Each structure stands twice: as structure tokens, then as C-alpha cells.
């Protein structure tokens, strides 16, 4: 399954996922405290330095992940320049790049399973209170499995349409795709119930 985790091994991979998430929270709050252009520039330089520790290739990979942000950066800078507040615009733009880049850094260097474990750990208080948190873990696994299955079935239906009709595939294809998916979900639910279900066994 496609993920955003980087193939390049970095020292950050060895850090605990929970530690990285906590550090990310602190750093993002700090970015909002640095409210000047030199401060933000220093912050962004620090983030770039973090990306440079594993090397140039890692930095380039990080910059590629920032692609969706550039449009907003340009928008903010131009908008504030027109309003005569160029400095304020620069601060916001720099903060935006730094904050997104920091969060991406955690995503790039942390395995999906490790993050899931952090989520389950954060739910410990709920478990102590008697809530059953196992269904959440199960639901995560189900979605990850459903996505490729759904795509596969959608492709098969689209092929079937193309084989029989000269017209382009239209939105009507959405109904049979959803129907097949719902029928599958009902079968999975039935199979789960037949194998004992998700509720923990009750003491008699």
C-alpha cells in the first residue's frame, strides 16, 4: 500500500513515534510565538537543517511534498503586499511552510503501524473506563483492506462498461460500484459475527 513514508533511512526513524508527535506539538506552538520575520526565518532555517541531517536527497523529497502549499504561499504574499502589509504576509507564509514541513517530517519518518500504536495508547484512559477500543483498530485494518478491493471492483465494472458500450463511462457507474461494495460489507459483517464478533466474551 502506498504511503508517504520516505524510503531514505534517517536518524528520526529510530525515535519513538509518541516522542516525535509531542515534539511536533511543541514546535508548532513555538512557531506561532515567533512573530517576526527574522524569527520565522530562523525557524524555517532550523526546519531545513532538520531535513538536511539525512542529506540533500531527503531535503528534496521534503520540498516535493510541500507542493500543495505553494499556491497559498503565493496568494498570501501577493494579497498582503497589495494591502501594504508585506511583512505580515511574509511571516504568515514562512510560518505556513515551516509548520507543514515539520508535520510532513514526522509523517515521512514514522511507520503507519507505529502511529496506529500511539493512537491506541492515547485511548488507554477510555479502555480503563470500560470502553471497547478494539473495534477502532479493527476498523482501521478494514479500511486499509477495503480501498484496494473497491478500486479493483470499480476497474472491473468500468472495463465491463467499455466492452459493451460505445459511450463514455458516466456517473451512473457509481451505483453498481456502491451496491457491490455494500454487499461485500454485509458479507464481511456476517463472517465476523459467525466467528464470534467484536464484542469481548461476557462472563456468565
Could you list the residues that contact another protein (CB under 8 A)?
1-5, 24, 28, 65-66, 68-69, 71-72, 75-76, 79-80, 88-89, 92, 96, 99-104, 106-108, 110, 112, 115-116, 119, 135, 138-140, 142-144, 146-147, 150-151, 154, 171, 174-175, 178-179, 181-186, 188-190, 192-193, 197-199
Which three cell numbers mark 196? 464470534
Q: Rounded to the nearest 10 degrees, how much is the dihedral formed by the CA atoms of 20, 24, 30, 31?
A: 140
By three-state DSSP, how is residue 10 classified? coil
Nearer to another protein, 54 or 102 (CB): 102
Please report where in the chains the cell 512557531 appears, as a residue. Answer: 31
Spell out the long-range contacts of 69-73 with Cβ–Cβ below 8 A and sequence spacing 24 or more: 69/96, 69/97, 69/100, 72/96, 73/97
**Shortest separation between residue 114's beta carbon and another protein, angstroms:** 9
Which three cell numbers mark 192? 465476523
Nearer to another protein, 40 or 76 (CB): 76
Nearer to another protein, 165 or 178 (CB): 178
Nearer to another protein, 24 or 41 (CB): 24
Q: Rounded to the nearest 10 degrees, how much is the dihedral formed by the CA atoms of 123, 125, 127, 128?
A: 170
**Shortest separation between residue 131's beta carbon and another protein, angstroms:** 13
Amino acid at each position: 500500500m502506498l504511503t508517504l513514508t520516505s524510503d531514505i533511512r534517517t536518524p528520526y526513524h529510530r525515535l519513538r513515534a509518541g516522542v516525535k508527535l509531542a515534539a511536533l506539538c511543541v514546535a508548532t506552538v513555538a512557531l506561532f510565538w515567533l512573530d517576526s520575520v527574522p524569527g520565522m526565518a530562523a525557524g524555517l532555517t532550523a526546519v531545513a537543517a532538520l531535513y538536511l541531517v539525512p542529506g540533500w536527497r531527503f531535503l528534496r523529497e521534503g520540498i516535493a511534498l510541500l507542493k500543495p502549499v505553494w499556491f497559498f504561499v503565493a496568494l498570501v504574499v501577493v494579497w498582503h503586499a497589495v494591502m501594504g502589509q508585506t511583512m505580515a504576509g511574509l511571516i504568515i507564509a514562512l510560518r505556513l511552510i515551516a509548520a507543514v514541513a515539520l508535520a510532513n517530517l514526522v509523517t515521512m519518518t514514522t511507520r503507519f503501524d507505529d502511529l496506529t500504536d500511539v493512537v491506541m495508547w492515547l485511548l488507554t484512559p477510555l479502555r480503563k473506563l470500560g470502553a471497547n477500543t478494539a473495534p477502532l483498530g479493527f476498523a482501521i485494518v478494514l479500511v486499509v483492506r477495503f480501498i484496494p478491493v473497491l478500486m479493483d471492483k470499480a476497474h472491473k465494472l468500468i472495463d465491463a462498461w467499455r466492452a459493451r458500450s460505445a459511450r463514455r463511462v458516466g456517473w451512473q457507474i457509481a451505483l453498481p460500484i456502491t451496491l457491490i461494495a455494500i454487499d461485500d460489507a454485509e458479507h464481511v459483517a456476517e463472517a465476523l459475527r459467525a466467528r464470534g464478533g467484536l464484542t469481548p466474551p461476557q462472563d456468565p
